């Protein structure tokens, strides 16, 4: 996505101080709502993990982690996390968390290979969450019920925000719409995946697209997913594949489909082996995390990440993520934004 400069953009907050107060309100309200909806305990999480253990998120498999030697460990390499998708599952196993309960944390990551635009930055902050489930919960019904709870937490936050900041008028629809990526492809066969997202989210306002990562009917995935956390390949009860997806909202400021969360039921033993084979990554089965999963030493889980700055940006009707978080921006972007009334931190 290239930089979008909305015509007649108007910052709804009179000062940086008021914006900062609103950011804190969103974060305080939402994490409380999320914790209550999903029965989650807040835990502390690492920003750095050891290299070579399979703990870091490979994202689409091409993004480079920030890696450095650790003097106290004999210069053994470590890397800044991309996300905590796999670490959380290990943590749940260590804590002995029972089905129906889970954890969430403030995840801070660096993704230096991101293409910077209105919604992408080098620094990534998320509420990373993970919940233990039973084997029989590996269904679309369970996934949909979980998504609805997250969406309800977002809606409650928007409504409470309106009470404190009346300029933020609620826009979210009452219900979220579900569609599989293959159904979406069949509906808009001549469009690219991003163009399909634009059409469906513009129509419904809030959409969860299921089955992201596996090849669709045209042989192309809707979007990339690593092979070793979300289950995007297991046949589901709707006749398609996958128990994961993305939650998108229609952003009236940028006039785009705005992704706020990626999540899903995680791989079990069969799904992990199948997906590693699909991606020709069978050698990963020998890594620490993967060995534990294949040995049945990790719980069945569902989890995901919800962008903190992304959600604040959406709910506060901002045009650029740099209005929410301090970051590094190309000078030409900073100047173009300022000319459009968008001040980047």
Q: Looking at the domain assignment, is residue 308 inside a domain?
A: yes
Q: Which of 158, 241, 246, 268 is catalytic?
A: 246
Q: What is the pTM of this model?
A: 0.94
Q: Which of 31, 35, 57, 309 is catalytic?
A: 57
Q: Looking at the domain assignment, is residue 195 inside a domain?
A: yes
- Tell whether the model's pLDDT for residue 216 goes beyond 90: yes
Q: What is the pLDDT of residue 61?
A: 62
Residue 183 known to be catalytic: no
CATH number at residue 86: 3.30.930.10
Residue 286 known to be catalytic: no
Tens of pLDDT, residue by residue over 27-76, are: 999 999 999 999 999 999 888 888 887 777 766 666 788 889 999 989 99
Q: Looking at the domain assignment, is residue 7 inside a domain?
A: no
Tens of pLDDT, residue by residue over 237-282, are: 999 999 999 999 999 999 999 999 999 999 999 999 999 999 999 9
Q: Which of 89, 111, 196, 310 is catalytic?
A: 111
Q: Report the distance separating Cα 188 and Cα 184, nearest Å.
A: 6
Q: What is the pLDDT of residue 109?
A: 86
Q: What is the pLDDT of residue 60?
A: 62
Residue-wise DSSP of 290-319:
HHHHHTT-S--EEEEEEEHHHHHHHHTT-S
Q: Looking at the domain assignment, is residue 333 inside a domain?
A: yes
Residue 185 known to be catalytic: no
Q: Which of 259, 266, 275, 317 is catalytic?
A: 259
Residue 246 known to be catalytic: yes
Q: Looking at the domain assignment, is residue 299 inside a domain?
A: yes
The chain-wide mean pLDDT, for the chain, equals 94
Domain of residue 216 covers 16-339
Q: How confident is the model at residue 199 (pLDDT cuts 50, 70, 90)?
A: very high
Q: Looking at the domain assignment, is residue 6 inside a domain?
A: no
Q: What is the pLDDT of residue 50?
A: 86
Q: What is the pLDDT of residue 163?
A: 96
Residue 262 known to be catalytic: yes
Q: What is the pLDDT of residue 103?
A: 98
Q: Which of 31, 35, 121, 126 is catalytic?
A: 126
Residue 332 known to be catalytic: no
Structural domain tally of the chain? 1
Q: Looking at the domain assignment, is residue 5 inside a domain?
A: no
Determine whether 203 is exposed, middle or buried from the number of CB atoms within 10 Å of its CB (0-12, 13-18, 19+).
Answer: exposed
């Amino acid at each position: 996505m290239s930089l979008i400069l909305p015509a007649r953009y108007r910052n709804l907050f009179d000062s940086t101080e008021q914006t900062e107060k609103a950011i804190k309100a969103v974060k305080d309200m939402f994490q409380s709502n999320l914790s209550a909806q999903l029965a989650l305990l807040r835990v502390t999480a690492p920003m750095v993990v050891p290299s070579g253990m399979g703990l870091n998120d490979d994202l689409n498999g091409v993004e480079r982690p920030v890696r450095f030697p650790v003097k106290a460990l004999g210069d053994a390499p470590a890397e800044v996390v991309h996300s905590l998708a796999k670490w959380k599952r290990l943590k749940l196993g260590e804590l002995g968390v029972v089905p129906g309960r889970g954890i969430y944390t403030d995840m801070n990551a660096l993704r230096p290979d991101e293409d910077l635009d209105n919604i992408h930055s080098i620094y990534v902050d998320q509420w990373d969450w993970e919940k233990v489930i039973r084997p029989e919960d590996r269904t679309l019904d369970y996934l949909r019920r979980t998504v609805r709870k997250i969406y309800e937490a977002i809606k409650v936050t928007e409504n409470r925000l309106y009470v404190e900041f009346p300029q933020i008028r609620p826009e979210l629809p009452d219900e979220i719409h579900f569609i599989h990526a293959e159904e979406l492809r069949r509906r808009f066969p001549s469009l690219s995946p991003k163009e399909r997202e634009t059409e469906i989210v513009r129509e419904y306002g809030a959409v969860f697209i299921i089955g992201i990562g596996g090849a669709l009917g045209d042989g192309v995935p809707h979007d990339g997913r690593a092979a070793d956390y979300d289950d995007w390949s297991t046949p589901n009860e709707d006749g398609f594949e996958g128990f994961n997806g993305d939650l998108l909202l229609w952003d009236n400021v940028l006039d785009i489909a705005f992704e706020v969360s990626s999540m899903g039921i995680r791989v079990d033993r069969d799904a992990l082996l199948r997906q590693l084979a699909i991606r020709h990554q069978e050698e990963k089965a020998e890594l620490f995390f993967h060995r534990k999963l294949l040995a049945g030493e990790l719980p069945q889980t569902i989890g995901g990440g919800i962008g903190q700055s992304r959600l604040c940006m959406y709910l506060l009707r901002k045009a650029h993520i740099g209005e929410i978080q301090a970051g590094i921006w190309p000078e030409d972007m900073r100047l173009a934004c300022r000319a459009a009334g968008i001040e980047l931190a």
